[in-house]
Structure 1
């Protein structure tokens, strides 16, 4: 038995690297799967085990601590127990004996007979006590809800304070569901109806997004970037909520737009497509290597109107005024937890406070870059009030020359008007609304 080649052994190796290097799970997993010689079915299992284990980390660790009491456990053994318990509790198609058997074999291969006996004992103890240890109910305390939804206590408290207990529970539950795969049709190449018909003709599942007129939900294709259509520039991989930003900005051909924090270029290229590749977009980002991502995406999609520059927008000295400025601000990223579950374990309240200050500075720097009558778009992929509603309220208090776009409500898709949280000139999509990313968008006009 080649343990090093099994899906569970790859999952264990990935978790170890993730923990030691504090790596981003999505990037690390992609690298690991590329190195492996696993079949697609096993690659899907590795993905499920890694994301699922990270998603449920505090719950799994709580159970492990209850089972081993105060015994010291090597980190790789803890990861192996986490993987195994995740399968017991959250997956229903894997037989108990198969979970125990392979965990014991991996422990024997990685450690010793003593370690394998320890792992076997812990897992069999869990099987006996599963009814009391593996079942959590929706109780009212922060600690109980933290274990039920596998969220850090501070985040449970933060969410509940912002949206109330019931909505907070819905958000956390949605964050534990597998994310949908959504792609954006390149309007320079084709239209959505033709694209969907073509995909369905290939035997692939594709349906229109309820959020974006350019969006398509796909399934059963694995990594969409491996599809020939991606290389040909037919589509971009982008979340539905994110697509709404450029749609609501609603640019016209010939406009001059500044995208202040543009990488990797999803919204930038979407704007260019909506402008029919006519006009100009200056795309800034502080990271030089990310500028290359924007440029390669633009080239792949057949877009020529994007000019890139590695620069912090706070240091942009030219006096040019733009028809529209998009500030997709650096944020806590809590809206993308379904795709990047490590975010909830690595963010803190103090970090959010620091981000709020950076966002304020960025807003101040771009406020003077908009023409009279022009548009300032602000967006984040998070749901904290401090980064979103309160941030925009503060900006408007300090900038009487700006006001919420009066046509904003009418420009929202009906499905978004029905489900999302909408105030004057802003929309907050929460993860449970459409099982898409949590996203905040504000559209302001300059007098």
Structure 2
């Protein structure tokens, strides 16, 4: 008879796979939770252990390095042993509801099953030494402010140093602290089917903290729970979307009957929002380079009873006016480093580096150059990203406008955004939301107009 894996064993398996394959923790989690017969409580614990351990890795490793002596330090450990120690220290330091002795005992048992007595003794010794010196978590390294913050708030030192230069100490600390919090859940009301207040009233019995979003007239914050399993979701009355992301479609200012191009559309959250704002009248070409994501767009549209979206498998950079004509509106939600969504994808901060920013900024500029040719005179183009780095955001659009006198930054963008963020639209007409400001994703939105 096959033994059922414990929540900690499953969490360890995910951590090892994320590290080994450089995959996204949310995708690995989804796969393992669908595969393993876990209770709802254990599934919640696995999720918290995986995200929390990855979020706090720098802090945990700094502590571990003081207890793993000898040549090679942490690098000499087998990867699964290092992840087991990280996982256990996360529980000891950050999860009050799990007794320390339970965390240590389970770690030792896993070490025995997966390794041998020698590894179990090492794990036991390290964890018990940490428990005898609880003040070890309060000790910060000497050196630069970036170094200290990187350990205290568990972010890569290069990234902290960059944010300090761009945003200053107060905002950098606030962003890092915000990134270490669990994300809340928010949904977008499908206003083709129901109204926001009506949906909130219906949801309150199961989601007692459901409340209107400050950032979107269609948004509802529900904090937690399994929204995708509700009848409202299945029947297409709502879709799951971050609040910041809900600002993009209104920024595009789509009108019923128009032709719209969503150049990087999958999985279709913003695409369907555009269709709802168009009252499901007109035409939306939803382009994505990945063939398997075409079906995601179709499924989302069908569930929401939207029929004006035509998915197209293509690289947005290869689209031509000869084949597709021109569009009244274009959304380029560009590929980016994703540094605004670290709260949702904590592995991102450990996988990215400064060269990634430079390389992706070059790709963004090329995409903007190509898709802009498909915009009709008088049309609007929204360039957006889920990152907070100016090199991927302001610098891309400012350089583009400087090189293309037929385009201008639309400084009237604020008029189409909710009051909560309209004051943050900068003089040149773009919006940069930082993760701590609304406890939502970090997002950049700009609107370009092609002169008639």
1:50-81 residue CA offsets vs partner (Å, 9 max, x unmatched): 01111112222222221111263222111110
- Matches of 2:4 and 2:87, distance apart in 1: 16
Select 1:436's aligned residue among 436, 440, 443: 440
CA contact (8 A) 1:372 1:446 kept: yes
Q: Describe how 1:67-216 pairs up with structure 2 within 5 A.
A: 67-70=67-70, 72-136=76-140, 141-202=145-206, 204-216=208-220
Answer yes or no: is 1:357 the counterpart of 2:362: yes
Residue in structure 1 matched with residue 8 of structure 2 by the alignment: 8
Could you say what secondary structure the match of 2:66 adopts? helix
Could you say what secondary structure the match of 1:213 adopts? coil
Q: Tell me, which stretches of 5 or more residues in structure 2 are unaligned?
A: none
Distance 1:199 1:363, change over 3 A: same
Select 2:235's aligned residue among 232, 235, 239: 232
- Matches of 2:9 and 2:319, distance apart in 1: 49
CA contact (8 A) 2:33 2:43 kept: yes
Q: Describe how 1:287-436 pairs up with structure 2 within 5 A.
A: 287-319=290-322, 320-418=325-423, 420=424, 422-436=426-440
Q: Tell me, which stretches of 5 or more residues in structure 1 are unaligned?
A: none
CA contact (8 A) 2:207 2:222 kept: no
1:22-44 residue CA offsets vs partner (Å, 9 max, x unmatched): 22110110111111222111111
Select 1:286's aligned residue among 275, 284, 289: 289
CA contact (8 A) 2:415 2:422 kept: no
Could you say what secondary structure the match of 1:66 adopts? coil
Residue 311 of structure 1 deviates from its aligned partner by 0.8
Please identify, of 52-61 and 257-266, the stretch whose mean Cα deviation from structure 2 is larger.
52-61
Could you say what secondary structure the match of 1:245 adopts? helix
Residue 435 of structure 1 deviates from its aligned partner by 0.6
Residue 221 of structure 1 deviates from its aligned partner by 1.7
- Matches of 2:196 and 2:428, distance apart in 1: 30
CA contact (8 A) 1:332 1:352 kept: yes
Please identify, of 93-102 and 136-145, the stretch whose mean Cα deviation from structure 2 is larger.
136-145
Residue 219 of structure 1 deviates from its aligned partner by 3.1
Residue 18 of structure 1 deviates from its aligned partner by 1.7
Normalised TM-score (structure 2): 0.94
- Matches of 2:425 and 2:171, distance apart in 1: 12
Q: CA RMSD in A?
A: 1.8
Residue 112 of structure 1 deviates from its aligned partner by 2.2
Normalised TM-score (structure 1): 0.95
- Matches of 2:244 and 2:113, distance apart in 1: 45
- Matches of 1:348 and 1:298, distance apart in 2: 36
Residue 137 of structure 1 deviates from its aligned partner by 9.0
Residue in structure 2 matched with residue 21 of structure 1 by the alignment: 21
How many pairs were matched up?
A: 444
1:148-171 residue CA offsets vs partner (Å, 9 max, x unmatched): 111111111111121112211111
Residue 139 of structure 1 deviates from its aligned partner by 8.3
- Matches of 2:319 and 2:53, distance apart in 1: 43
1:200-233 residue CA offsets vs partner (Å, 9 max, x unmatched): 14454311100011111113423x2222222211
